[in-house]
């Protein structure tokens, strides 16, 4: 049957037009326009991520733990130029406990062991950029071993934004020690530093970052209110205050490029989860 001949040419094309209009209406009704997604809410204060940098030496020794003074200067300038604000362990602790606030882009700059170059090389650069820092010292080495800080140097630095905390007495790996030796390392280093510096020592950096729940319990008994590991990551309110994360900084073939890479969390250490507790 030829529908066009049956109803006439003009009526046929009118019918087609009406059908097309009806089909378009059905499409619109059957597929309503999706509403635009609402703008994301600003992150709550609890989402603040705190960068804790972990250095050791600042000198020209060609080893991974030694950052060239020129590179350290470049890195500190980078932090300042990109809006980072240095904080102390107490400021970090108060934030985690819900008792304080932090500046934009907070960074806690830490050094382990207590090498003399922290005073001769790093300290002038930190003062140059008006940055706070924290040194976790091995108390049994201070004022005794060549290449390590003296208590007089530490007292001077504490007058200019540097915080001193504990890294045990001898840097012995704590899990390998008896309970009595663990207590001696934690309690005696705290006692020595408090006697020399005249203020409470309340934070511990575990030697090589190694710790367990038993060691944490002894640290709590000794009077520490927080501890730092070498587990790679940022600190936030979900962190264990006795096992806080840090971002280690090493000498590499491209030290400053790798430094920026670590700040941005594109390092393979993060991508593949190569972390050490």
* Domain containing residue 153: CATH number: 3.20.20.370
Residues 70 and 160 in one domain: yes
Residue 76 lies in a domain: yes
Question: How confident is the model over 145-192, as pLDDT tens digits?
Answer: 999 999 999 999 999 999 999 999 999 999 999 999 999 999 999 999
Residue 174 lies in a domain: yes
Residues 3 and 86 in one domain: no
For position 7, what pLDDT does the model report? 46
Residue 39 lies in a domain: no
Residue 277 lies in a domain: no
Query: 26 pLDDT band (50/70/90 cuts)?
Result: very low
The per-residue DSSP string of 30-60 comes to HSPPPPPPPPPPPPPGGG--BEEEEE-EESS
For position 162, what pLDDT does the model report? 98
Q: Which two tokens stand for residue 79?
A: 């932090």
Residue 84 lies in a domain: yes
For the whole prediction, is pTM greater than 0.85?
no
Residues 6 and 86 in one domain: no
Cα separation, 135 vs 167, in Å, equals 9
Mean pLDDT of the chain: 85
Residues 208 and 83 in one domain: yes
Say if residue 123 is exposed, middle or buried (CB neighbours under 10 Å; 0-12, 13-18, 19+): buried
Question: How confident is the model over 37-85, as pLDDT tens digits?
Answer: 444 444 445 578 999 999 999 999 999 999 999 999 999 999 999 999 9
Residues 4 and 68 in one domain: no
Looking at the predicted structure, is the pLDDT value of residue 17 above 60? no
Residues 206 and 104 in one domain: yes
- Residues 136-149, mean pLDDT to the nearest whole number: 98
Residue 153 lies in a domain: yes
Residues 197 and 247 in one domain: yes
Cα separation, 88 vs 118, in Å, equals 17
For position 264, what pLDDT does the model report? 84
Q: Specify whether the CB–CB gap between 52 and 112 falls below 8 A.
A: no
Residues 97 and 211 in one domain: yes
CA-to-CA dists, residue 239 to 19, 259, 266, angstroms:
64, 23, 21
Residues 75 and 18 in one domain: no
Residues 161 and 257 in one domain: yes
No. of helices (H) and no. of strands (E), the chain: 12, 10
Question: Which SS3 state, helix, strand or coil, does residue 244 take?
Answer: strand
Residue 37 lies in a domain: no
Looking at the predicted structure, is the pLDDT value of residue 90 above 60? yes
Looking at the predicted structure, is the pLDDT value of residue 242 above 80? yes
Q: Specify whether the CB–CB gap between 168 and 137 falls below 8 A.
A: no
Cα separation, 31 vs 208, in Å, equals 61
Cα separation, 197 vs 150, in Å, equals 12
Residue 276 lies in a domain: no
Cα separation, 220 vs 260, in Å, equals 35
Residues 12 and 68 in one domain: no
Q: Which two tokens stand for residue 189?
A: 């280093």
* Region of 265 on the Ramachandran plot (φ > 0 left; ψ -120 to 50 alpha; else beta): left
Q: Which two tokens stand for residue 109?
A: 């700059």
What φ, ψ does residue 201 adopt, rounded to 5°? Answer: -105, 115
Residues 100 and 184 in one domain: yes
- Residues 186-206, mean pLDDT to the nearest whole number: 98
Report the Cα 88 to chain-centroid distance in Å.
Answer: 13
What is the span of the domain harbouring residue 51?
47-271
- Smallest CA-to-CA distance from 220 within 176, 190, 177, 175 is with 190
**Overall domain count for the chain:** 2
């Amino acid at each position: 049957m030829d529908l066009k001949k049956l109803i006439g040419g003009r009526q046929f094309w009118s019918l087609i037009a009406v059908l097309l209009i009806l089909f378009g209406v059905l499409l619109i009704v059957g597929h309503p326009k999706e509403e635009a997604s609402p703008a994301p809410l600003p992150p709550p204060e609890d989402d603040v991520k705190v960068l804790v940098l972990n250095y050791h030496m600042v000198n020209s020794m060609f080893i991974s733990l030694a950052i060239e003074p020129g590179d350290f200067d470049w890195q500190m300038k980078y932090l300042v130029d990109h809006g980072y604000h240095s904080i102390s362990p107490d400021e970090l602790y108060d934030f985690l406990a819900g008792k304080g606030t932090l500046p934009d882009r907070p960074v806690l700059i830490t050094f382990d062991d207590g090498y003399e170059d922290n005073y001769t090389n790093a300290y002038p650069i930190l003062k140059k950029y008006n940055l706070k820092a924290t040194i976790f010292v091995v108390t049994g080495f201070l004022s005794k071993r060549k290449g390590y800080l003296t208590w007089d140097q530490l007292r001077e630095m504490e007058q200019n934004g540097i915080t001193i905390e504990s890294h045990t007495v001898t840097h012995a790996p704590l899990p390998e020690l008896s309970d009595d030796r663990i207590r001696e390392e934690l309690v005696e280093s705290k006692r020595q530093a408090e006697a020399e510096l005249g203020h409470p020592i309340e934070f511990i950096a575990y030697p090589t970052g190694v710790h367990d729940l038993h060691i944490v319990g002894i640290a709590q008994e000794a009077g520490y209110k927080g501890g730092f590991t070498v587990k790679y990551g940022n600190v936030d309110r979900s962190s264990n205050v006795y096992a806080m994360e840090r971002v280690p900084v090493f000498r590499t073939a491209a030290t400053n490029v790798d430094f920026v890479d670590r700040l941005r969390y594109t390092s393979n250490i993060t991508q593949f989860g190569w972390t050490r507790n």
